[in-house]
Amino acid sequence: MSGIGTGYDLSTTTYSPDGKVFQVEYACKAVENGGLAIGCKCKDGVVVAVEKLVQSKMLVPGTNKRIHAVSKHAGMAGTGLVPDVRTVVDRAREEAANYLSFYGDAIPANVLADRMAHYYHLFTLYWSVRPFGASVILATKDSNGYHMYVLEPSGECHKMNGCAIGKNKAAAKTEIEKLKFGEVLAKDCVKELKRVIYKIHDEKDKDFECELGWICEDSKGEFRRVPKEVADEAIALAKAALEEDDDMDDA
């Protein structure tokens, strides 16, 4: 047996000599092999976008989605192992439904984020389970406004203004950091995130679809998919910007 993780990567209950849990790191690697998912908290809401890599031309367009509604006032965008993303979304729906049933009100953003972070972390504590190979962006609205959180396989939870997870996340973060989060509106943010997806997409990968979701004033405070006309306009602008960049490089 050889390798850095030899003997220390057989269980999530074992630390390596330098304090790492290799099963969690492997889960993070699974996330990095998934498509890019990005989000932005803008002036009037939150917008999320996902690069869904199409593995076969025979797949029906629009299926096997990466963006899901959790409740009227919350939604998730995920990347990594798709079945793991669906499991996390199902748990979030249960948490939202249970809170509504018990307290008679929609679950607050920080409560949902904390509960989901604990759920993630549970799968790093026992040898009989493995960490989720998926990260998600949680977009929510409560009495305190709009919020965006990122949940990692380790159970870490961060409240963010802008974020990128998955493949080529470093390059995407550089682009997102240029946005003025407190000033840009949701409709403009859709165009910016679409542009980032098209710009960062690796030409070596196969075809892809770009999914968009938002919770903002335009969606009446509910998490919904971005309307087709708005998304199509954003695609046209993103492609035009990409062609302009290519022309500048050729010059």
Per-residue pLDDT, 249: 56
What is the C-alpha separation between 62 and 89, in angstroms, rounded? Answer: 18
Closest listed residue to residue 215, CA positions, set 97, 69, 107: 69
**3 state SS for 91-156:** HHHHHHHHHHHHHCCCCCHHHHHHHHHHHHHHCCCCCCCCCCCEEEEEEEEECCEEEEEEECCCCC
- Stated as kind and residue range, the H or E segment containing 45 is strand 45-53
Per-residue pLDDT, 20: 87
pTM above 0.95, yes or no: no
Tens-place pLDDT, residues 128-168:
999 999 999 999 999 999 999 999 999 999 999 999 999 99
Per-residue pLDDT, 4: 56
Q: Are strands 145-151 and 224-225 parallel, antiparallel or unpaired?
A: unpaired
Per-residue pLDDT, 55: 81
Q: Which residues of the chain have pLDDT under 70?
A: 1-6, 245-251
Residue with tokens 């963006």: 67
What is the C-alpha separation between 76 and 213, in angstroms, rounded? Answer: 9
Tens-place pLDDT, residues 183-216:
889 999 999 999 999 888 877 777 888 999 999 9
User: What are the chain's domains?
Assistant: 22-245 (3.60.20.10)
CA dihedral over 135, 109, 156, 120, signed as positive or negative: negative
